[in-house]
Structure 1
Amino acid sequence: MSQLPIFLWVEKNQSVRYASLLHNSPVECLQNLPLWNLQCGVECSPFPVCIFVGEKRFRFDPREDHIVLYHEQGAPSVFVGTVGRLHYYNFEDSTNFTVLIETNRALSKCKKQENAKNYLTLLEKYEDRLLVCGTNACSPTCWNLVDRKVERGISAQGLAPFAPDQNGLVLIDGKEIYSTIPKHQYNGRTLRFRRIRGSAVLFTSVTVMNNPKFVKAAIIKQEEAYNDKIYYFFREENPDWPKNAAAPRNVSRVAQLCKGDKGGTGSLSAAKWTTFLKATLLCVDSDTDRHFNQLQDVFIVESAKWSETRIYGLFLNEWEYSAVCVYSVGDINKVFQTSPLKDYHKKLPPVRPGQCLEGEQRTPQETFTVADSYPEVARRVKQEDILYHSKHRYQQIGVHRALAADGGTYSILYLATDRGTVHKVAVLPTGANNVLEIQPFLSPAAIRTMTLDSERKQLFVASGSEVVQLPMAMCGAYEHSCESCILARDPDCGWINGKCTSVYDHDQHGKGTLLQALTHNPVTNICSSPSHSTAKGDDSQHCENMPVAPGARYYLNCSIKSHHATYTWLHDNQAVAHCGSGHRHCIHFIESMTDELYGTYSCVSQEDWFNQTLVAECLTKPSKVRMQLKEPRNTMAKDRATQTYLSLWPGLLHMAAVILLTH
């Protein structure tokens, strides 16, 4: 468990409800921070040191420029493949080891010297062993991990690229392996989807995809085994674009293959996938008619009933705004079964293109010819819902289905941004609510990979410097007040026994009722405490005396905690400044101190029915005795000292305020 300096930071113009904990920004006193799951001392210092409860990390030494991560659901450990190294770390007992899998540069077959390394690109369980595959200086090789050592494994042809390649996709199902990785180093740019191990080798035709960028592949099993499908998701260049300037240059697709495909009856189709069809994935905001055409990532939430399995797609548009759209496998399957083929106007053959056949039957040549020439269906797959859209550029998505205290099940999205943070978005009946922003790393870094463990309720995030395990329930972020906890509307958290508590901890150890309000606006007395006052301010809070010289400038600063609240600075209970949620701080600036400006200033936040005073300062005149203690002996010196006192200190305050507003 790591000891870390804690800082507060909120990005401008975002819809995140609560601030995150970052490690690179101006710090405030510990008591004023919305810290999540912390055990800290009470001393306020420029760099307070705290311990995160539940957060653990494993650091790489040296920094790694290439990362691939493997985590098995329910396990407390991870494997991380880098360049020439395989790392293992157990977050439960802190055991770890590193295995060197380096290459002999003298035997390199690489044209580019930078590729003459062993980039580990695949870590997966295969035949009850960890399969490790890498580029091995342009001679792809696979190993098995046995007793903390590696030994040569199966052939790496099609399993590892010849050089680092972000477009490779490998899918393992039992003894069968599917891949998009080229089998030969110089076989052109044509990419195919292959079955390379298990049943007979099959590959897609060169004409059915147009410069694809692969995203994800999955196997969906149906009631009848012969109807089991492989779905894979990709982007490709739009064939309609040159003819239609209004069409997008790239289009997102879902392709289907019958897992039991035996190939065709003709010589040209015997080794081909004969059940390939593809459809366009639509992700459209109906309110604005804004289209999101660039699929970035996919997360699949399986259901006991195959048709109810959900596909969560993360998309970008031309302005790099993001959206999350959800699809059902049942709808995708129906499109492939019932849609006509695009631009095909003749009668379909008796065996319909894309139809799965029982037993050892092969697809007739007539059916293959039609499907191979017209692989796209006319109907597009429409989203069930656009769950969430944002001006942030998200790169990866994870989805957890949380069982809340009210008995309902809610989707929680974990979205990795391009700035190294993770947004936690709760999908509620009232809409998607961005409840928290998380900075997982000790210093700002790009997120290389992210994975969820829904069994252990943990999130794993890796950068080039470290891999971090975080609890999904970070309830301490919502402060130690019932109102903040309830208003967060985080399905993972509820209020009981005087603190904001994880629903998972309460299920295991708790007694009593966990308070939540996820499906409606809570009544104002839900917390049964006097802090629901609807008054503008709370003067009972301790007021800190701050002497300010007449004529001096002064900044009053109040950190924004909840981005669903409004903030007001009051002077003797009269409003003098209002702040929305678009900034990190609510600042009231006094240009020149006069007699009528002295008095009590308080910063009050209001969210729904909950008001609270966050900061209170009493601005007073410095005592004459104190001013005379350091009175200069001559008038000229006195004038210089007074000028310095009145101008230098406010100047420093001005610089501090600029830093607070711009960082």
Structure 2
Amino acid sequence: MNDVCVNAWWWSEGPLVHLCAIATALLLSFEHYSISDKAMDYRILHVDEDQDRMYVGCKDHVLSMDINNITDGTLKVFWPASNSKIEECQMAGKDPTHGCGNFIRVVQPYNRTHMFMCGSGAYSPVCVYINRGRRPEEQVFHIDSKSESGKGRCSFNPEVNTVSVMLNQELFSGMYIDFMGTDSAIFRSLTKRNAVRTDQHNSKWLSEPIFIDAHLIPDGTDPNDAKLYFFFRERLTDNSGHTKNIHTMVARVCPNDIGGQRSLVNKWTTFLKARIVCSVLEEDGTETHFDELENVFLLETDQPKANEPESYFHSSVFKGSAVCMYNMADILTVFNGPFAHRDGPNFQWVAFQGRIPYPRPGTCPGGAFTPDIHTTKEFPDDVVTFVRNHPVMYNPIYPVGRRPLVVRTGADYKYTAVVVDQVAAADGNYQVLFLGTDKGTIQKLIVLPSNQSVHEDLILEELEVFKVCYLSILFSQQLYVSSEYGVSQVSLHRCQAYGEACADCCLARDPYCAWDGLSCSRFYPTGKRRSRRQDIIHGNPLTQCRGFNLKAYRNAAEMMQYGVKNNTTFLECIPKSPQASIRWLIQRDNDRRKEVCKQRYLKNTMEPYGKQQLH
């Protein structure tokens, strides 16, 4: 950490006292929107950058917001559950406030003019099409169809996660398909083809899953080889049916899978899953696992196999949170590796050593490896049988470097959401992480490259957006944060808040910001660099800010604090960045040595109008 001296002189009858503050959280600016003061569960966010709109699903309402300013011209659709369904829900003993409403859980674009949306419908899922118009300036937003059943598209219980992806006007959902919440499924619906789902009540496929997210990810250049990945955590059971552990899993299916011909009819024939591990390796070789996945963010790159899912986990065993990053190439390696097989008297999991049928189970029809097979109904029976009995991969998926990017243990908060921005700085590219906590704050941090066993992460800023925990964070050139009580739009940077000195700007170590010779401002890699000062790795103002601190000292001279004779005065120096600490040094008259002041208050004999000059 670098020390920056800020001079302060006290004039008194006694010796001259020379004080040096080693300085330097910040707040980000944001806009906030809510329908009412009541908890409305603003959980589902979907950004449409082509139309510059964001669609929000909450209790009994769907919102259409301007992504540039969510408080300007928000359009609303009121879509409650029917009175009869609400009465039935309450008669069934469900919570009238948090259960017996229409909680919107599926918000997906259907075509150029319409959105497809589903809600819990007071434990009776329902879906509609909403006309959003062809252009934002039309200000069109209304329900444009009769309600239809949402079964197989949205969970009955609004507290149970529903994840969804719309591909070519087909809806792929991970949810619970029944009222009692016992039948979990990855389901394809809203299709002109036959509906397809996971094998029912088969714990090898799904075992009490809690769905977190879903993404379509390419696998090579052939679009037919792209897979739809579902991230979830599930409870594993032993041979007696007792719950053992919670593991995080990722499953994938081919979107063009239409099921088998004789076996797995209307069931996925390409379903495979693998365990995701986020753990810390101890010195004795044991692993401490963060086993419960909470959130996933897909950092897209130009190379499809280089896509990097970043995931937030917390531990169910001890109080801790971690963020792990995975390389898509490593995920593909696991899915192309050995299958898991139960063997031996105790039915232990081992790598399958037998013959693997052709085409390899999990391969998509019509892709680069199966050009002569057009549909999954053409798969040989041994391929379909193998997939049904061996849906699990043997090797787990480890994060990059086999260690988390960020680890927090013993903190009074846990992370609830993560989004990542790739930022180009003067000395390289950095990933800026925005982490939501259950305390209602957002931590903005970067992870610095390190050769040690633990990454070094720096918290750049922290912002309290809500008094309660987050439900979700969405990223699209700005942050959009939701909770039970509203939606906030948060800027990624506010460089001017780091102060008016080059040293403060440099100490902040924020890749979004740099000293331009006059102020701390947004850094653009393509701009003129002659007077740009930025040092993310070291944050050393002594090397970066030579000749730029004079202005700061001139401004400091304008700040006065008056003391009273025979009294005490509190010397305050507000830090401009979490990367800097504050330390006061005393240098007495005719003495070059500086003493560290350990007292909060300095008592001195002063003139009635003594002056304090501080920056």
Relative to the length of structure 1, the TM-score reads: 0.72
CA–CA separation in structure 2 for the residues paired with 1:571 and 1:82: 58
CA–CA separation in structure 2 for the residues paired with 1:286 and 1:92: 44
Pair 1:463 & 2:483 matched: yes
SS of the aligned residue for 1:181 comes to strand
Which of the numbers 515, 524, 527 marks the counterpart of 2:542? 524
1:630 is matched with: none
Pair 1:57 & 2:32 matched: yes
CA–CA separation in structure 2 for the residues paired with 1:63 and 1:501: 39
Structure 1 residues 241 and 518 mapped into 2: Cα distance closer, same or farther (>3 Å)?
farther
The letter of the residue matching 2:142 is K
SS of the aligned residue for 1:266 comes to coil
Pair 1:356 & 2:402 matched: no
Structure 1 residues 200 and 328 mapped into 2: Cα distance closer, same or farther (>3 Å)?
farther
Relative to the length of structure 2, the TM-score reads: 0.77
1:270 is matched with: 265
Instruction: Trace 1:90-239 onto structure 2 (pairs within 5 A).
Output: 90=66, 92=68, 94-108=72-86, 109-110=88-89, 111=92, 112=94, 114=96, 115-128=99-112, 129-146=114-131, 147-152=140-145, 155-186=149-180, 189-198=182-191, 199-205=193-199, 206-207=202-203, 208-222=205-219, 223-239=221-237
Contact in 2 for aligned 1:178/1:194 (Cα 8 Å): yes
Give the C-alpha shift of residue 337 in structure 1.
1.0
1:566 is matched with: 581
Contact in 2 for aligned 1:34/1:476 (Cα 8 Å): no
Give the C-alpha shift of residue 323 in structure 1.
1.5
SS of the aligned residue for 1:216 comes to strand
Give the C-alpha shift of residue 332 in structure 1.
0.9
Contact in 2 for aligned 1:261/1:273 (Cα 8 Å): yes
Give the C-alpha shift of residue 384 in structure 1.
1.1
CA–CA separation in structure 1 for the residues paired with 2:337 and 2:73: 54
The letter of the residue matching 1:316 is H
**1:350-407: CA deviation from partner (whole Å, max 9, x where unpaired):** 223323333124333333333333322221111113222223511101111122345x
1:89 is matched with: 65
Contact in 1 for aligned 2:498/2:576 (Cα 8 Å): no
Structure 1 residues 287 and 502 mapped into 2: Cα distance closer, same or farther (>3 Å)?
farther
Structure 2 residue runs of 5 or longer lacking an equivalent are 2-22, 132-139, 342-348, 367-373, 589-593
Give the C-alpha shift of residue 415 in structure 1.
0.5
CA–CA separation in structure 2 for the residues paired with 1:58 and 1:250: 37
SS of the aligned residue for 1:524 comes to helix
Structure 1 residue runs of 5 or longer lacking an equivalent are 1-14, 16-31, 38-51, 533-537, 579-586, 603-612, 616-663
Give the C-alpha shift of residue 266 in structure 1.
2.4
2:134 is matched with: none
**1:485-514: CA deviation from partner (whole Å, max 9, x where unpaired):** 12222111111141111135x869x88653
SS of the aligned residue for 1:462 comes to strand
CA–CA separation in structure 1 for the residues paired with 2:531 and 2:595: 39
Instruction: Trace 1:192-591 onto structure 2 (pairs within 5 A).
Output: 192-198=185-191, 199-205=193-199, 206-207=202-203, 208-222=205-219, 223-239=221-237, 249-267=245-263, 269-286=264-281, 289-317=287-315, 318-342=317-341, 343=349, 345-351=352-358, 352-358=360-366, 359-362=374-377, 363-385=379-401, 386-391=404-409, 392-406=413-427, 408-430=428-450, 432-441=456-465, 444-453=467-476, 457-503=477-523, 513-519=531-537, 522=540, 524-529=542-547, 531=549, 544-547=561-564, 549=566, 556-573=571-588, 574-578=594-598, 588-589=600-601
Give the C-alpha shift of residue 543 in structure 1.
5.9
2:369 is matched with: none
**1:123-179: CA deviation from partner (whole Å, max 9, x where unpaired):** 221123122221223332222222332122564232233231332221211222111
Give the C-alpha shift of residue 190 in structure 1.
2.6
CA–CA separation in structure 1 for the residues paired with 2:462 and 2:605: 44
2:137 is matched with: none
**1:210-243: CA deviation from partner (whole Å, max 9, x where unpaired):** 2111111111123223322121111112346999
The letter of the residue matching 2:520 is C
The letter of the residue matching 1:234 is F
SS of the aligned residue for 2:302 comes to coil
When structure 1 is superposed on structure 2, of 301-310 and 457-466 the one drifting more is 457-466
When structure 1 is superposed on structure 2, of 554-563 and 318-327 the one drifting more is 554-563
Give the C-alpha shift of residue 432 in structure 1.
4.7
The letter of the residue matching 2:326 is Y
Give the C-alpha shift of residue 348 in structure 1.
2.6
Give the C-alpha shift of residue 589 in structure 1.
4.8
**1:77-113: CA deviation from partner (whole Å, max 9, x where unpaired):** 4332222222333264721232221233235432226
Give the C-alpha shift of residue 261 in structure 1.
2.4
SS of the aligned residue for 1:253 comes to strand
Contact in 1 for aligned 2:416/2:471 (Cα 8 Å): no
Structure 1 residues 56 and 563 mapped into 2: Cα distance closer, same or farther (>3 Å)?
closer
CA–CA separation in structure 1 for the residues paired with 2:32 and 2:559: 39
Give the C-alpha shift of residue 260 in structure 1.
2.7
The letter of the residue matching 1:79 is Y
Contact in 2 for aligned 1:217/1:231 (Cα 8 Å): yes
Contact in 1 for aligned 2:507/2:580 (Cα 8 Å): no
Which of the pair has the greater relative contact order for Cα pairs under 8 Å at 6+ separation? Answer: 2
CA–CA separation in structure 1 for the residues paired with 2:509 and 2:188: 45
Structure 1 residues 513 and 229 mapped into 2: Cα distance closer, same or farther (>3 Å)?
farther
> What percent identity do the matched residue pairs reach?
24
CA–CA separation in structure 2 for the residues paired with 1:395 and 1:34: 20
When structure 1 is superposed on structure 2, of 461-470 and 117-126 the one drifting more is 461-470
Find the structure with the greater CA-based Rg: 1
CA–CA separation in structure 2 for the residues paired with 1:568 and 1:276: 60
CA–CA separation in structure 1 for the residues paired with 2:417 and 2:27: 23
The letter of the residue matching 2:276 is L
Structure 1 residues 76 and 438 mapped into 2: Cα distance closer, same or farther (>3 Å)?
farther
Structure 1 residues 500 and 367 mapped into 2: Cα distance closer, same or farther (>3 Å)?
same
1:631 is matched with: none
**1:455-474: CA deviation from partner (whole Å, max 9, x where unpaired):** xx211112333322222122
CA–CA separation in structure 2 for the residues paired with 1:376 and 1:240: 16
Give the C-alpha shift of residue 411 in structure 1.
1.3
CA–CA separation in structure 2 for the residues paired with 1:178 and 1:447: 25
The letter of the residue matching 2:153 is L
Structure 1 residues 240 and 305 mapped into 2: Cα distance closer, same or farther (>3 Å)?
farther
The letter of the residue matching 1:394 is Y
The letter of the residue matching 2:292 is Q
2:10 is matched with: none
The letter of the residue matching 2:600 is H
The letter of the residue matching 2:144 is E
Give the C-alpha shift of residue 530 in structure 1.
6.3
The letter of the residue matching 2:313 is F
Contact in 1 for aligned 2:415/2:438 (Cα 8 Å): yes
CA–CA separation in structure 2 for the residues paired with 1:556 and 1:241: 67
Structure 1 residues 182 and 475 mapped into 2: Cα distance closer, same or farther (>3 Å)?
same
CA–CA separation in structure 1 for the residues paired with 2:420 and 2:363: 31
Pair 1:73 & 2:16 matched: no
Give the C-alpha shift of residue 285 in structure 1.
2.8
Aligned residues: 533
